[in-house]
Amino acid sequence: MKIGAVDVGGTNIFFGVFEDDLLLEKKQIPAEADKGKDVVIKKLKDVMKFFKEKGVSRVGVGMPGLVDHNAGVVEIPPNIEGWIKENLKMILQKDSELEVYVINDANAYVLGEWKFGAGRGKKDVVLLTLGTGVGGGIVSGGKLLLGKTHAAGEVGHIVINPSGPLCKCGQRGCLEAYIGNKYFEDRALYMKKKFPDSLLNNYTEITPRIIAECAKKGDRLSTYLWNEFGHILGVGLVTLIHIFDPEIIILGGGISKSFDLFINSTLQVLENRVMSYKKRGVEVVLAQLGDEAPLYGAYYFALVKGNVEDSSH
């Protein structure tokens, strides 16, 4: 049976056709989310037409925002202009006559890595996506943790300093406010004034990629920034380990590509602060599927018809 999978982002919509756990074909189109919800929905309807032509009978859609996984209702997805609350499942099913299942994109990511990537065979998994924000998902006891309102897994909003910088969620000191792209970049711009010999002074705009390149060249400030990043990430992971007691923590997203530059600092924090750290034996690893993880997760969600509480598949 062929199953379609969709990953809706603010910039692009990725979609692919799966059969027997294999990704047969993958495509992408511009999301044009700034043009509004109607444009995005029209594009998704076009993707459904593509799936019908390919002989797909069932589709999983990963969406940002608050998602009711049972009803398929999506609320306030960031970056999609004018989208307040829409029953995407009903809209797409009515238009295409395909069987559609809608899941939050972060949960799709953790499902993909859990079933087909770094978390395969594990029953207790914590996943963080490190990038513009800090997203994530939790698998506990072989079940995807959704919570009462299907909004569980907001790991980026663990408060690590109540007096810390303002987060876009309105609270202060969230993990995301410290290690999201913007804070990391702003921190580098501020700190480079104190390091006149730093290679970062050659750049007016600084990104995590540039900080990584400079660190690899031996730049003292860049190395310091990555160690600081790893330390703060570690503080957040300590809380997650104490609450969920995972077998494995998976790190994905753009910043995770610099894993080797920050992981030692992170592990040092875990060793110093996690109770019974050695006994727990928790691994911290890189995601294996990269940008395809949400597609694999959306595929799996459709494969089990949204029944992620059944771990027997």
CATH-assigned architecture of domain 2-110+292-303:
2-Layer Sandwich (3.30)
| Residue with token string 């603010």 | 10
Question: How much is the pLDDT for 219?
Answer: 98
CB of 121 within 8 A of CB of 113? no
Give the tens place of pLDDT for each residue, 138-181. 999 999 999 888 888 999 999 999 999 999 889 999 999 999 99
User: What's the number of CA atoms in the CB half-sphere (13 Å) around residue 9?
Assistant: 14
Q: What is the DSSP letter of 101?
A: E
Give me the mean pLDDT over the 275-289 stretch.
94
Same fold, 2-110+292-303 and 122-287: yes
Q: CA 99, CA 80: separation in Å to the nearest integer?
A: 24
309: pLDDT confidence band, cut at 50, 70 and 90?
Answer: low
CB of 125 within 8 A of CB of 146? no
Average pLDDT, the chain: 94
pLDDT above 90 (res 246): yes
Q: How many CB atoms lie within 10 A of CB 160?
A: 17
Give me the mean pLDDT over the 254-273 stretch.
97
Q: What is the DSSP letter of 85?
A: E
Question: How much is the pLDDT for 311?
Answer: 44
Give me the mean pLDDT over the 6-11 stretch.
92
Give me the mean pLDDT over the 33-47 stretch.
96
Q: CA 178, CA 184: separation in Å to the nearest integer?
A: 7
pTM, rounded to two decimals = 0.91
Task: Give domain limits for the chain.
Answer: 2-110+292-303, 122-287
Give me the mean pLDDT over the 16-37 stretch.
96
Q: CA 122, CA 107: separation in Å to the nearest integer?
A: 16
Give me the mean pLDDT over the 120-131 stretch.
95
pLDDT above 60 (res 198): yes
Work out the percent of the chain whose per-residue pLDDT is above 90.
87
CB of 285 within 8 A of CB of 246? no
CATH-assigned architecture of domain 122-287:
2-Layer Sandwich (3.30)
User: CA–CA distance from 250 to each of 70, 108, 120, 158, 216 (Å)?
Assistant: 26, 14, 11, 17, 23
- State the DSSP H helix or E strand holding residue 17, giving kind and residue range, or none if neither: strand 12-19
